[in-house]
Amino acid sequence: MCRLSAITSSEYISPMENILALETMKEGHDGSGMGLILKDLGGEFEELKDYPILSGICSKDGLHALDSYMDGLGFQLKYTWTPKIKPVKGIERRDYYFARVYEYPDEYREKDTEEKESLLLSTRIALRRMGEADESIIVFSFYPDIITLKEVGDPLQLGEFFGLDNSTLKARIILAQGRQNTNYAINLYACHPFFIQGYGSMTNGENTAFVPIREFLMSRGFPGYMGYNSDSEVFTHILHYTCRRLGYPMTYYKDVITPLKASEIETRPDSEAVNFLRISLRPLCIDGPNCVIGFTPDGTCFMVQDSKKLRPGVVGGVKGKYALMSEECGLDKAIPDRERSNDIFPMKYDMVVVSPGAEEVKVWNQLQGWTTTMS
């Protein structure tokens, strides 16, 4: 079972905090990879929040192809961040790791967000396809104020490899996952967290309903619902589909992935609507042992459990800094000075929601509504 470490803070923090928390949960990851998503970036990126950032890895040839493709579309390179690689035994270095900030093509600068997002999505998919066969181009995200880093190896060693301990790279929301590979071949596209148009998530556990969910998402006619090298990528896309495409409030994500029974729905004030969701979104029921940690575009972070609560997960912290972790030891490492008795272990009906800026933590219960508030 992979280990998850997410921190949301009102101050900029280093991804090393997540990595050190992952280190305490080391028995849960096997060195088959680490993924990082940084949202609400600080440092040199603080002034570049409106510009899309392309995160990925290229070979030398791939970089050339990438540049000419981006030039062709009219994207202008504004800033490039590359990690200061420090060779670490056991980690195979690839040619070029990057987070590149672009200016939109001229004809897109005045267009609305939706059109810009479509362009970013289609560009990312095109680049992915260009480099998929020979792994010359691997792109994880292309979106403003988001950086994604992924590589095979132990999280702590990867932190050293990327020089994150001395880096200026900081963010207010950071998701990190240490992989326990259960996807047969190790593939960077199978590494969590996943991101699409402002929504990100990571999961531990395995998704037993993967095939019907994948078929449902892929047949929605939305180009971004593709990939699926990991069965957990669908969790991110279900979140996007629920909140973005259908426009439902975030709490309904829980109702979609872990639908209530008819008798339970009857007790809800919105029972009629929830019943519609249960029937029409039946193929998106996750039905597996999963803990999902994610964020939405406004910076809200959340944690949900599967309908039987088969995975561990804890949320705790202090006002201005909360961590969402697989295990208590990770939370102790990330935020030791907190009131531990306030830690929240979400159960099968719960969705723990940390508001933007780590202001407060609330628990949404499918049967009881909003229950606990910690601020």
Q: Give backbone dihedrals phi and psi of 4, rounded to 5 degrees, phi first.
A: -120, 145
Between residues 24 and 258, which has the closer beta carbon with respect to other proteins?
258
367 binding other proteins? (CB under 8 A): no
β-strand partners of 302: 294, 353
343 binding other proteins? (CB under 8 A): no
Question: Minimal distance in Å, beta carbon 262 to other proteins?
Answer: 6
CB 146 within 8 A of CB 53: yes
Q: Determine the interface stretch with other proteins among 79-87, 123-131, 141-149, 244-252 (rule: CB under 8 A).
A: 244-252
Structure tokens at 288: 């597996």
State how far the Cα of 173 lies from the Cα of 152, in Å rounded to an integer: 22
State how far the Cα of 162 lies from the Cα of 165, in Å rounded to an integer: 8
Judged by DSSP in three states, 207 sits in: coil
Residue 193 DSSP symbol? P
Taking residue 72's Cβ as centre, other Cβ atoms within 10 Å add up to 9
Size of the site for other proteins (CB under 8 A): 43
Of positions 112, 221, 336, 373, contacts other proteins by CB under 8 A? 221
Of positions 166, 168, 280, 375, contacts other proteins by CB under 8 A? 280
Site for other proteins in 303-342 (CB under 8 A): 307-308, 310
Using alpha carbons, select from 11, 39, 365 the residue that is nearest to residue 175: 39
Peptide bond into 193 cis (omega under 30): yes
Site for other proteins in 281-300 (CB under 8 A): 281-283, 285, 287-289
- The single residue listed with the structure tokens 């020979």 is 134
Question: Minimal distance in Å, beta carbon 372 to other proteins?
Answer: 17
Of positions 51, 143, 235, 252, contacts other proteins by CB under 8 A? 252
Q: Which residues bind other proteins (CB under 8 A)?
A: 182, 205-206, 208-212, 215-216, 219-221, 245-249, 251-252, 258-259, 261-262, 269-270, 272-274, 276-277, 279-283, 285, 287-289, 307-308, 310
